Amino acid sequence: MNHAPIKIKPYGEHAILIEWPNMVDENILDSIILFDEYLKTHCLPKGIWETVTAYNSLLVVNQVEKVDYITYKKKIGEWYANIEKGSKREQLLWKLPVLYDLDFGIDLEEVAQKAGKTVSEVIELHTSHVYTVYGIGFLPGFMYLGGLPKELEVSRKSEPRLQVKKGSVGIAGKQTGIYPQDSPGGWNIIGSCPIPIFDINKEDPCFVSVGDKIQFQQITLAEYNLHKIETEVGIYKPEKIVLNA
């Protein structure tokens, strides 16, 4: 595999930013994930360093001390030449249940109208595509998903809502995603996911990682309620498929 060139930039006293070409691209994301894994396994020990990956960048942060940029710039350049020695992380496809109905998907009809589709066509389009997690940020467990079909690109609401319910599935522009907690928001809400993407009671509080894939699955109200209860008692396990097994 050909890995795109990187740019290394200083970022304050504790961090260094590594940038790939400025585009949303699966191959670039693959290089970032591979390099992230290589750095964490071979170069930057956990507990001292942490990393934040997003779209075309990888931030390395030293939690303990200040970093010498010149030294690490050189090291990172050398490490990147070894990227292929890194082991590929499991790539997972998560199938996330979503209840698309007019009670939860409060903007479903408006979205259908804006897109010139029927409500069932909107649901069909939203569930038939596989999305890529390009970043997690903004709020704990908030996924930046790429891959929304063009037909579903509708503008965000002109007035943001003061409160969007936790679990709400929204679309806006080229983006789709799930609100991980109650928060203000301007996305069009088309459904609700009954299982939390972020759960502080779990050792790994967020089962999704950058680079994973997401597909939404339509469920009934009865299944929605069941998953809610399963989540409350801690027995719900999201369905996953290992893609590069």
Partner 1 sequence: MLKVLKSGFYTSVQDLGRFGYRNKGVPVSGVMDHISVKKANSLLENKVTDAVLEITMTGPTLIFEKSTSIVMAGASMSVTLNNEPVRNYKIYQVHEGDILSYGKLNKGFRAYLAIKGGFTTNEVLSSRSFYIPITQVNRLKDGDSIPYDGYADFIPKISEIKTDSFLDETILEVYKAPEFDLLDDRQLESLFSKDFTISKQNNRMAYQLKENIVGLEYSMLTSATLPGTVQLTPSGRLIVLMKDGQTTGGYPRILQLSDKAISILAQKREGNNVSFKLI
Strand partners, 241: 93
Q: How far apart, in whole angstroms, are the C-alpha atoms of residue 155 and residue 169? A: 15
Structure tokens at 101: 């109905």
Closest approach, Cβ 101 to partner 1, in A, equals 26
Name the DSSP letter for residue 42. I
Q: Does 172 bind partner 1 (CB under 8 A)?
A: no
**Is 43 an interacting residue with respect to partner 1 (CB under 8 A)?**
no
| Longest Cα separation, the chain | 58
Nearest residue (CB) to partner 1, 13 versus 78: 13
Selected range binding partner 1 among 61-69, 91-99, 102-110, 151-159, rule: CB under 8 A: 61-69
Q: How many CB atoms lie within 10 A of CB 163?
A: 12
Segments in 82-115 forming alpha helices (H): 108-115
Is position 15 an interface residue for partner 1 (rule: CB under 8 A)? yes
Region at 20 (left for phi over 0; alpha for psi -120 to 50; beta for the rest): beta
Exactly one of 26, 42, 46, 217 binds partner 1 (CB under 8 A); which one?
Answer: 46
Q: Is residue 76 part of the contact set for partner 1 (CB under 8 A)?
A: no
- State CA 84 to chain mean position distance: 24
- Given 206, 215, 226, 238, the residue binding partner 1 (CB under 8 A): 206
**In terms of C-beta density within 10 A (0-12 exposed, 13-18 middle, 19 or more buried), how is residue 234 classed?**
exposed
One-letter amino acid for residue 115 of the chain: A
CB nearer partner 1, residue 14 or residue 129:
14
Of 31 and 51, the one with the shorter C-beta distance to partner 1 is 51
Q: Return the number of the residue (113 or 181) whose C-beta is nearest partner 1.
A: 181
57 sits near partner 1 (criterion: CB under 8 A) = yes
Is residue 51 part of the contact set for partner 1 (CB under 8 A)?
A: yes
Sketch the per residue contact string, 124 through 163, with partner 1: x for CB under 8 A, - otherwise.
----------xxxxxxxxx-x-------------------
User: Cα–Cα distance between 221 and 217 in angstroms, integer?
Assistant: 13
- DSSP code at position 151: G
Minimum Å gap between C-beta 203 and partner 1 is 10
Residues that bind partner 1 (CB under 8 A): 9-15, 17, 19, 22-24, 46-47, 50-57, 59, 61, 63, 66, 134-142, 144, 180-181, 198, 200, 205-206, 209-210
